[in-house]
Chain A
Amino acid sequence: MSILVIAEHDGKLLKPGTTNTVTAAVKIGGDITVLVAGHQCADAAQVAAKIAGVGKVLLADSPLYAGGAAENLTALLQTIAGQYTHILASATGYGKNFMPRLSALLDVQQISDISAVVSADTFVRPIYAGNAMATVQSADKIKVITVRATGFDAAAEGGSATVENLAAGPDTGLATFNGQELSKSDRPELTAARIIVSGGRGMGSGENFKLLEALADKLGAAVGASRAAVDSGYVPNDYQVGQTGKIVAPELYIAVGISGAIQHLAGMKDSKVIIAINKDPEAPIFAVADYWLVEDLFKAVPELTQQI
């Protein structure tokens, strides 16, 4: 078998999730090639070459792939897809955007968000916000798969793959990339953090998130949020943890003022230890918490920050 993993990167480094996707490829078994496509991303290709288990890195460095727009990227992938039995990418905003487009161009049914590999053609994936786990088998000639990072360990370093240049594919001219507005933070990324402090509607305002930021900074944690907090405009969209936001599984997840809607639990219930602070003794979040405290968050959070 021959597996292509499409790396997610910022030009210099790989994004969290790519190394977990390599681990999923190792479980499928076969020769593993990593594609680094982007603009001015040779450094990221060197990082990918050092992942244990990777045999070859393809570098497609062209302005056509700046920003990772799906149209040109899938046009490139279509030209090389036939060489592989499996094509994998992380089930992040990046992978979810272009992988279905590739899948349709190849006339295969994508397998989304796998959390386990049963065999080379059979995979486990969550459905209904993780309230059911489906085992599915694909008979398609190429398996196009997105991988849930929390289901697989990150692959170690220690590889020494060769890096080959891949000529740019056609310019479809369908979409023009006009830039990104990225949230700036010195805290770890949500999907890579060891500890996450998340706030919900109970925070009451964006200003009050400063309480959580103080706690997060003391713990070296990332700050996340429930959909309710994002929809209310307290924090930007990239904070959202849940079924249709980010899926996280840190060592410690601290849920503050979060009631625990089904779609939020879907994004965090695989965390190792969950603590919940909510003044409502009936909050559904307590059903998944290892430790819960029924108290006003405006009293409990500053105390917690002080005592930790």
Chain B
Amino acid sequence: MKVLVTVKRVIDPYVKVRVKSDGTGVETANVKMAMNPFCEIAVEQAVRMKEAGIVSEIVAVSIGTLQSQETLRTAMAMGADRGILVEVAGEVQPLAVAKLVKAIVDKEQPKLVIMGKQAIDDDSNQAGQMTAALLGWPQAAFTSAITVNGDTADVTREIDGGLEKLTIKLPAVVTTDLRLNEPRYVTLPNIMKAKKKPLEVLKPEALGVDVVPRLKTIKVEEPAKRSAGVKVADVQELVAKLKNEARVI
């Protein structure tokens, strides 16, 4: 079966972001970028399913500026067969992402779409569930295990109290949680091979999707800072501070 995975280019999760002084957003110039970690898990899952003989073709999709081609090349170095970039210059909010992914799904007809549960930049946690809604497909959000059995899949989802088991009909949308797998490192030979894989660039208009943001960002600010703390010498001093100063125990 064919699988479609989505990958987003984001600020590297280990970089401390800085809010722009004019309050319009965060600084992205000269900042290290990377594939969103949950998207890496999505690609890894598709590649493992291909290695297991369940999946025949993996199509990686990204939405963003032309630089997102790098992210698609990384997905292809991990094992995706080809890439599709929907080139958009500005902000694309989750509803528009879902509409674009749906449009590509309509063309590509995959049996499974695997997406990251959340992008670590806008922290929305929406696009996968929205894509499932627009397609009228079942969804398995926050998945930590998946087994495909013909026309259904057994999935385990991470929920607040533990784990939940579902059987979903295929085609379906799955979003990845951290425990689904540990993504591989890309190797140099695979990076070289990925450069030769096909990469198509589309515009949203070609897919008939309006990507104008629905939410208007009024301002972006630094969060409230915590006041500086103190170092204590030993457990005795710590207990004294908690009892007499903080009064929390």
CA distance A108 to B130 in the complex (A): 10
Among B2-41, those with CB < 8 Å from A are 11, 13-14, 16-17, 19, 26, 38
Asked whether A138 lies within 8 Å of B235 as measured between CB atoms, the reply is: no
Which B residues lie within 8 Å of A129 (CB)?
A: 120, 123
Among B124-142, those with CB < 8 Å from A are 124-134, 137-142
**How far does the Cβ of A11 sit from chain B's closest Cβ, in whole Å?**
13
**Are A300 and B235 CB-contacts (below 8 A) given A178-B165, A231-B178?**
yes
- B89 sits at the interface (CB 8 A): no
B58-66, B78-86, B236-244 - the one binding chain A: B236-244
Among A279-308, those with CB < 8 Å from B are 286, 288-295, 300, 303-304, 307-308
**Are A307 and B235 CB-contacts (below 8 A) given A178-B166, A237-B177, A246-B160?**
yes
Q: Which of A70, A74, A139 has the most CB of B within 10 A?
A: A70
CA distance A175 to B124 in the complex (A): 24
Size range of the chain A interface in the assembly: 35 or more
- A103 sits at the interface (CB 8 A): yes
Which A residues lie within 8 Å of B178 (CB)?
A: 227, 230-231, 237, 244
- B196 sits at the interface (CB 8 A): no
Asked whether B165 lies within 8 Å of A70 as measured between CB atoms, the reply is: no
- A225 sits at the interface (CB 8 A): no
Which A residues lie within 8 Å of B150 (CB)?
A: none
Which B residues lie within 8 Å of A291 (CB)?
A: 229-232, 238, 241-242, 246
Asked whether A219 lies within 8 Å of B126 as measured between CB atoms, the reply is: no
Asked whether B166 lies within 8 Å of A237 as measured between CB atoms, the reply is: no
**Are A183 and B161 CB-contacts (below 8 A) given A252-B242, A293-B232?**
yes
**Are A230 and B238 CB-contacts (below 8 A) given A100-B125, A101-B133, A180-B161?**
no
Size range of the chain B interface in the assembly: 35 or more
Q: Mark A124-157, 1 if CB is under 8 A from B, else 0.
A: 0011111111111111100000000000000000
CA distance A109 to B217 in the complex (A): 13
* Binding site secondary structure of chain B: mixed
Which A residues lie within 8 Å of B13 (CB)?
A: 262-263
**How far does the Cβ of B2 sit from chain A's closest Cβ, in whole Å?**
20
**Are A133 and B142 CB-contacts (below 8 A) given A127-B121, A183-B162, A238-B160?**
no
Asked whether B161 lies within 8 Å of A109 as measured between CB atoms, the reply is: no
Q: Mark A90-129, 1 if CB is under 8 A from B, else 0.
A: 0011101111111111011111110000000010001111
User: When A and B form their complex, which 7 residue pairs have the shortest distance between CB atoms, in order from nearest?
Assistant: A109-B214, A104-B130, A174-B138, A100-B126, A100-B129, A104-B133, A178-B165
* Known contacts A177-B164, A195-B249; 16 further A-B pairs (Cβ under 8 A): A92-B160, A103-B130, A104-B134, A108-B95, A112-B124, A129-B120, A131-B16, A132-B223, A134-B220, A139-B214, A175-B138, A180-B162, A236-B162, A244-B117, A288-B229, A308-B239
List A residues at the B interface (Cβ < 8 Å). 15, 67, 69-71, 74, 92-94, 96-105, 107-113, 122, 126-140, 172-183, 191, 195, 219, 227, 230-231, 236-238, 243-244, 246, 251-252, 262-263, 269, 272-275, 286, 288-295, 300, 303-304, 307-308
What are 22 A-B pairs at a CB distance below 8 A? Answer: A93-B160, A103-B133, A107-B95, A127-B123, A128-B17, A132-B17, A132-B19, A132-B26, A134-B217, A175-B167, A178-B166, A183-B161, A195-B248, A195-B249, A237-B162, A244-B120, A252-B246, A273-B248, A292-B230, A293-B234, A293-B235, A300-B235
